[in-house]
Amino acid sequence: MLLHTATSTLVFLSICVISTNAGNPCCSYPCQNGGVCMPHSNSQYTCDCTGTEFYGQNCETPTLLQRFKLLLRPTPETLHTWLVHNKWLWDIVNSMTFVKDFIMKMVVLIRSNIVDAPPTYTSDHEYITLDAATNLSYFTRALPPVPRECPTPMGVVGPKILPDPKLVAEKLFRRTEFKRDALDSSVLLTFFAQHFTHMFFKTDMKKGPGFTWGGHGVDGSSVYGPDKHTENLLRSFTDGKLKSQMINGEEWPPYVSDAPVKMLYPPSVPKDKQFALGHEFFGLLPGLLAYGAIWLREHNRVCEILKTEHPHWDDEQLFQTTKLIIIGETIKIVIEDYVQHLSNYHFKLFFKPELMFGQSFQYSNRISVEFNHLYHWHPLMPDNFNISGTDYKLRNFMFNTEIPVKHGMRQLVESFSSQHAGKVTFRNHGAGTMHVAVDTIKHGRELRFQSFNQYRKRFRLKPYSSFQELTGETEIAAELESLYEDIEAVEFYVGVIVERHREQSMFGGGMIEIGGPFSVKGLMANPICSPKYWKPSTFGGDVGFNIIKTASLKKLFCKNIDGDCPLVSLKVPQTVSEAQANEKCDSQCSKNEL
Amino acid sequence: MLLHTATSTLVFLSICVISTNAGNPCCSYPCQNGGVCMPHSNSQYTCDCTGTEFYGQNCETPTLLQRFKLLLRPTPETLHTWLVHNKWLWDIVNSMTFVKDFIMKMVVLIRSNIVDAPPTYTSDHEYITLDAATNLSYFTRALPPVPRECPTPMGVVGPKILPDPKLVAEKLFRRTEFKRDALDSSVLLTFFAQHFTHMFFKTDMKKGPGFTWGGHGVDGSSVYGPDKHTENLLRSFTDGKLKSQMINGEEWPPYVSDAPVKMLYPPSVPKDKQFALGHEFFGLLPGLLAYGAIWLREHNRVCEILKTEHPHWDDEQLFQTTKLIIIGETIKIVIEDYVQHLSNYHFKLFFKPELMFGQSFQYSNRISVEFNHLYHWHPLMPDNFNISGTDYKLRNFMFNTEIPVKHGMRQLVESFSSQHAGKVTFRNHGAGTMHVAVDTIKHGRELRFQSFNQYRKRFRLKPYSSFQELTGETEIAAELESLYEDIEAVEFYVGVIVERHREQSMFGGGMIEIGGPFSVKGLMANPICSPKYWKPSTFGGDVGFNIIKTASLKKLFCKNIDGDCPLVSLKVPQTVSEAQANEKCDSQCSKNEL
């Protein structure tokens, strides 16, 4: 659907009024370009265009300045194409500090400006409330919920009753055969995504799917726990270090017997094999445990460096300052290794908080529930995990705390780096994660998410006009049409997953353009990036500051594994891929399958 | 003490090292202009001058740009003099939108830039921690605590043991005779200050004087309670209104029997006379109750206006939107009536959030414990309260919930407007508030506040070089010297109270220049001032938006009292003052004294 003109919307609107016995005229979302719809009692409405740089009854007419901007601004699709082509040009750009600084600044500013800060909406109200800004137990919302009184779940279009979520998942999501990610992403990336995002995606299901018990950003809670009590249980209170234990000559997290924090293990895992980590959920998979353990090692390693630099510091100062450094390293690695890989851009992203100083930029962040939903990248998960030649089925991998210890960190990271992650697309959810997809759809409905096309418009993308345009093929498009009737009625999570991928990309445009702003904002709005924090003294002087400034995923593992540096890669190296191909052996043929 | 030069500081430092057996060299605060001192183990230190626009060993040398800025920037004292003189010039300025917009923008930007956002320090650490930014149960700190290991409570200067807080209060604070405020502030101002600031000064003494249970800003909690549970108890759930009751034909808050919220009444107040308000403490004084009641009436009045405008709105939308309007009215009135009066500037302050759009300005606020301390304006309180000719002693005024009902809102506001508030200065704490002053000094020590002169420097004021310069007289100066020995050792709260007042001002320079930034930041950083909130649709359309834009203290009372508009004034009108003088009768001579 193209942007409505004032006239066509009014026609559309009058139909709406007739068909719903004078219901809420805003159910048809007549206001364009971020205008806020205010229904009147007489089935008329007003659009509040304040601050949108558009005017007219439906905020459809750009101001002169905005018209000029629109003329100059390349489409997101064009920008993407530029960024994944012409490597030679980007190599030059990447070598010119002034130019790359300018581009990076623009990337952060443009992306983060799309995110409302302070946040405006929650899942409980269709209008702005003070609670949205002040009540931290809410996930925020990029778009308010569809009003309850609307004729259909998506407003005025699509079926009155949406198709059974299980049916949707079966038809669109269930993996038929394992599809590899097109960028050769490795399972190390899968677990990176999972361990990193669980720091801030913490749905508080006791309150409901619109609530969170998390800290709304990169707060180190996966390492230090969600609160001071847990943090204190995990601390050794000596030299700033966290509790740990040596097993087979390697440093691992303590068991819950030594650090009695709340962890979610099934009864089948004996107490004396339950590792204690900052996140209650990190015993679930050896990949999460590996990341948990490597950050623990890094924390204790940094403590030693600071202790050498500041022998007079007490445990508290060593701990607090190391924690700040760990947050800094996390952001640096997320931007320069993880997001860089996800983007596949030739432009080399970099972490330089100074670029935002003096800009109109809010150093505060709130996690939106839409960001949480779109980050459900379960198709990344393969069905089996091959660790140094041993194939583990998912069910044998889960809550298996013996695997990390048995294989050791080196074998884990090398194996994860060598195994292909799945492609985030339709029909690629493994059997073990199908229930998560079903729940995500259910929650999206309970939270009355607006349609995928509404979200595309919210994030400055052209809404799709047909199912074929959305999926880029015909089979899934036909399934979608049978399920949703109208392209305007496709649900949010379904949309981001089934969307056709961009050229040389892991995702469709929706995933990138909706997820990107949340991601960039969340990383750069961290307090440590603000002018009063981002200076050597905050991190124990140049020594600590440089640990952040030179951090990388490779270093994180190499500095914390004895001996030579292992293979650490978010992309399966071509040599490994080729070797695997030569073996002509897929994961099913392993002799050691468990 | 003037800014140290590098050399003199080093000399000073070496003395410090000798006298304290190689203690923490940062105890002498060698780093100037906001530089952060990092002690080394060998009794040396480094100043981190990052972001200060100064360099050199002690960040004492301005950069060329900063030197230029310093040359152009008038001193705060000069600025003040300009602002309280030349009324004819300011009358012209006030009539020129472009000029007054520019000045107002500069006022907000310059003031709020002095406040660290995100916040950096808490009372628990002398260095930056992540907790300072993320743990909302802390009051923040503008300056970190004095390190525990320092030779004296103020670092290296002053007595090793500070004088008994009771002695300090007796010598410097106890009221000998009631001193009127020089600007003729009324008791209506006293209660305005008290009712407004209790919205965000909520020390959590269970945790300690460095902690708060408040929401860190103008959140309406005095009207709606500190949490959702209390809010729900206060709501009627009909037409968005709060529960209320009619007594003598006037609307008052409900009793706790009807709205069972937590209130702090002594057992002597019967349950059926305990008014239920948003703040547990607002039963304390009829002045607080009057403000509580008038905001309650305003809330219910606005609900009716919105209901007329939007007959289809449910209770929830009426309530939430009215709450946003009430916050907006509060900020408008605080800036244009209250702060305007406090400042005594000829420049007419005004509330225009648009001025901050696109600026480098953080829409987030954190209450600092120093702001809390300096706002202990108990000298404003007279010893007796004259309500329509009846004189109430403070002890008979406290927790007396019959007074408001008996006299009615009209008599209350007219009486408050007609009675002089006390002058915020030395020896003007009434007997009933002396214990608060003593506690404030005690808490300042427990929190290891730096000295008043350190705070002056932090807020770009010249530190005082002598006791006489601080007080502007000799008697209190001599008392101070006997108590503190060194001008550098005068405590924060003592300093702001005993400081000589500026010309035509209610306060000394410290109070204004330290309090001002916190105040301006807190008001303008409110979420409702941010671009996505500040538009008609947020407030129910133009009708609601205009309620905010035209709000005033006078209107607040007049719209909510039947009949003619009573006298509503933060300044005792000259006619009233003269009439009182003619009666030649002080408060002691009332016939009706209780």
Instruction: List pLDDT tens digits, range A454-501.
Output: 999 999 999 999 999 999 999 999 999 999 999 999 999 999 999 999
Question: Is the CB of B324 less than 8 angstroms away from the CB of A46?
Answer: no
**Could you tell me the CA-to-CA distances from A389 to A182, A284, A581, B241 in Å, in that order?**
23, 21, 15, 68
- List the catalytic residue out of B375, B455, B484, B493: B375
Q: Which two tokens stand for residue A470?
A: 């959305």
Mean pLDDT of chain A: 93
Tell me the helix, strand and coil percentages in chain A, rounded to 5.
50, 10, 45
Total beta-carbon pairs less than 8 A apart between chain A and chain B: 148
Q: Which of A321, A360, A364 sits opposite B359 (nearest CB)?
A: A360
Q: Residue B164 contacts by C-beta under 8 Å, 6 or more apart in sequence?
A: none
Write down how long chain B is. 594
Q: Tell me the C-alpha distance between A253 and B302, whole Å.
A: 57
Compute the nearest-CA separation of A482 from chain B (Å).
36
**Could you tell me the CA-to-CA distances from A141 to A122, A202, B219, B263 in Å, in that order?**
5, 15, 21, 35
Question: Is the CB of B533 less than 8 angstroms away from the CB of A219?
Answer: no
- At residue A452, does pLDDT exceed 70? yes
Which amino acid is present at A528? I
Q: Quote the pLDDT of residue B225.
A: 97
A401, A275 contact by CB (below 8 A): yes
Who wins on pLDDT, B83 or A11? B83
Q: Quote the pLDDT of residue A588.
A: 45
Which amino acid is present at B283? G
B501: annotated active-site residue = no
Q: Quote the pLDDT of residue A551.
A: 98
Question: Is the CB of B537 less than 8 angstroms away from the CB of A38?
Answer: yes
Contacts of B36 in chain A (CB under 8 A): 535, 537-538
Question: Is the CB of B527 less than 8 angstroms away from the CB of A130?
Answer: yes
A375: annotated active-site residue = yes
Compute the nearest-CA separation of A39 from chain B (Å).
9
Contacts of B359 in chain A (CB under 8 A): 360
Q: Quote the pLDDT of residue A583.
A: 66
Instruction: List pLDDT tens digits, range A37-88.
Output: 999 988 899 999 999 999 999 999 999 999 999 999 999 999 999 999 999 9
Question: Is the CB of B134 less than 8 angstroms away from the CB of A533?
Answer: no
Q: Tell me the C-alpha distance between B241 and B27, whole Å.
A: 55
Pairing of strands B384-387, B250-252: unpaired
- At residue A17, does pLDDT exceed 50? no
Q: Tell me the C-alpha distance between B208 and B218, whole Å.
A: 23
Residue of A nearest to B231 (CA): A131
Contacts of B131 in chain A (CB under 8 A): 320
Q: How confident is the model at residue A22 (pLDDT cuts 50, 70, 90)?
A: low
Q: Which of B118, B130, B219 sits opposite A134 (nearest CB)?
A: B219
Binding residues of B: 378
- At residue A23, does pLDDT exceed 90? no
Contacts of A118 in chain B (CB under 8 A): 363-364, 527, 530, 532-533
Classify residue A52 by its DSSP letter.
Answer: T
Contacts of A136 in chain B (CB under 8 A): 136
Backbone angles phi, psi at A251, to 5 degrees: -85, 125
Residue of A nearest to B362 (CA): A362
Q: What percent of chain B shows pLDDT beyond 90?
A: 91
Question: Is the CB of B532 less than 8 angstroms away from the CB of A116?
Answer: yes
Compute the nearest-CA separation of A311 from chain B (Å).
7
- The angle at the Cα of B132, spanning B129 to B138, to the nearest 5 degrees, equals 140
Ordered by where they begin, the domains of chain A are 1-73 (2.10.25.10), 187-425+513-574 (1.10.640.10)
Q: What percent of chain A shows pLDDT beyond 70?
A: 94
Number of Cβ atoms within 10 Å of the Cβ of B41: 11
Instruction: List pLDDT tens digits, range A327-356.
Output: 999 999 999 999 999 999 999 999 999 999
Contacts of A42 in chain B (CB under 8 A): none
Reduced to 3 states (helix: H, G, I; strand: E, B; else coil), residue B276 is coil
Compute the nearest-CA separation of A535 from chain B (Å).
6
Contacts of A125 in chain B (CB under 8 A): 316-317, 320
B547, B325 contact by CB (below 8 A): yes
Residue of A nearest to B227 (CA): A135
- At residue A19, does pLDDT exceed 70? no
Q: Residue B427 contacts by C-beta under 8 Å, 6 or more apart in sequence?
A: B172, B173, B174, B175, B176, B179, B476
Residue of B nearest to A50 (CA): B535
Compute the nearest-CA separation of B410 from chain A (Å).
32
Binding residues of B for heme b: 378
pTM: 0.94
- At residue A3, does pLDDT exceed 80? no
* For range A89-117, the mean pLDDT: 96
Instruction: List pLDDT tens digits, range A178-226.
Output: 999 999 999 999 999 999 999 999 999 999 999 999 999 999 999 999 9
Those residues of chain B that have pLDDT short of 70 are 1-22, 583-594
Instruction: List pLDDT tens digits, range A261-275.
Output: 999 999 999 888 999
Q: Tell me the C-alpha distance between A305 and A293, whole Å.
A: 19
Question: Is the CB of A128 less than 8 angstroms away from the CB of B532?
Answer: yes
The terminus-to-terminus CA distance of chain B in angstroms comes to 51
**Is A378 annotated among the ligand-binding residues?**
yes
Q: Which of B116, B361, B363 sits opposite A118 (nearest CB)?
A: B363
Compute the nearest-CA separation of A119 from chain B (Å).
8
Question: Is the CB of A118 less than 8 angstroms away from the CB of B323?
Answer: no
B432, B378 contact by CB (below 8 A): no
Q: What percent of chain A shows pLDDT beyond 90?
A: 91
Q: Which two tokens stand for residue B10?
A: 């080093």
* For range A412-416, the mean pLDDT: 97
Poorest-pLDDT segment among A366-375, A574-583, B411-420 = A574-583
Question: Is the CB of A532 less than 8 angstroms away from the CB of B51?
Answer: yes
Contacts of A359 in chain B (CB under 8 A): 360
Question: Is the CB of B364 less than 8 angstroms away from the CB of A364?
Answer: yes
- At residue A590, does pLDDT exceed 80? no
- List the catalytic residue out of B198, B341, B376, B420: B198
Question: Is the CB of B362 less than 8 angstroms away from the CB of A360?
Answer: no
Q: Quote the pLDDT of residue B11.
A: 32
Classify residue B334 by its DSSP letter.
Answer: I
Instruction: List pLDDT tens digits, range A501-542.
Output: 999 999 999 999 999 999 999 999 999 999 999 999 999 999
